[in-house]
Structure 1
Amino acid sequence: MWALFEPVHAVTYFAPQARARYEAAGLRGYWRGYFAGRAAAFGPVGPGPVHATFFGFHPAMVRRALPDVWSRATPADTLTARLDGARAALDDVLGSVPAADLAQAAELLRAAAERADLAGRALAAAHADLPWPDDPVGVLWRAATLLREHRGDGHVAVLVHAGLDGVESLVWRTAMGSDRQVLQSNRGWSDDEWDAAAARLVERGWLEPDGRPTAAALTARDDIERRTDELAAAPWRALGEPDTERLATLLHPITTAARVYLPPINPIGLPTPS
Structure 2
Amino acid sequence: MWTLFEPVHAVTYFHPRARAAYEAVGLRGYWRGYFAGRAAPLGPVDAAPVVAVFFTFAPSMVSRALPAVWQLATPQEALRARLTGAVQALAELLYELPERHLAEAAELLEAAAGSLDTAGRMLGAANAALPGGEYPLARLWQAATTLREARGDGHIAALVAAGLDPVEALAWRVAVDQPPQNLLGRGWSEEQWQAARGRLAARGWLDADGQPTAVGRAGFQAIEEATDQAAARPWLALGPDRTARLRELLDPLARSCYRILPDNNPIGLPAPQP
Per the TM superposition, whether the score is higher than 0.5 is yes
Match of 2:252 in 1: 253
Match of 2:18 in 1: 18
Q: Deviations over 1:112-146 (max 9, x none)?
A: 00111101001100111111201000000000000
**Runs ≥4 residues deviating over 3 A:** none
Match of 1:129 in 2: 129
How far did residue 193 of structure 1 move?
1.0
Matched residues in 1 for 2:221 and 2:97: separation?
Answer: 36
For 1:1-274, list aligned pairs within 5 A.
1-185=1-185, 187-274=186-273
Q: Deviations over 1:133-173 (max 9, x none)?
A: 01000000000000000100000000000001000000011
Corresponding letter in the other structure for 1:31: W
Matched residues in 1 for 2:171 and 2:79: separation?
Answer: 32
- The alignment covers a number of residue pairs equal to 273
Unaligned runs of 5+ in 2: none
Q: Is the 8 A contact 2:168 2:197 kept in 1?
A: yes
How far did residue 265 of structure 1 move?
2.0
Q: Is the 8 A contact 2:25 2:73 kept in 1?
A: yes
- Helix, strand or coil: the match of 2:259? helix
Matched residues in 2 for 1:245 and 1:41: separation?
Answer: 30
How far did residue 175 of structure 1 move?
1.2
Q: Is the 8 A contact 2:151 2:227 kept in 1?
A: yes
With normalisation by structure 1, the TM-score equals 0.98
Matched residues in 2 for 1:273 and 1:21: separation?
Answer: 28
Q: Is the 8 A contact 2:258 2:271 kept in 1?
A: no
Unaligned runs of 5+ in 1: none
Q: Deviations over 1:167-188 (max 9, x none)?
A: 0000011111211121112x12
Q: Deviations over 1:202-225 (max 9, x none)?
A: 111111121001111000121111
Q: Is the 8 A contact 2:205 2:213 kept in 1?
A: yes
How far did residue 91 of structure 1 move?
0.3
How far did residue 260 of structure 1 move?
2.3
Q: Deviations over 1:55-110 (max 9, x none)?
A: 00011110000000000000000000000000000000111111111110000001
Identity across matched positions, percent: 58
With normalisation by structure 2, the TM-score equals 0.98
Please provide the CA RMSD for this pair. 0.8
How far did residue 244 of structure 1 move?
0.3
- Helix, strand or coil: the match of 2:134? coil
Q: Is the 8 A contact 2:42 2:126 kept in 1?
A: yes
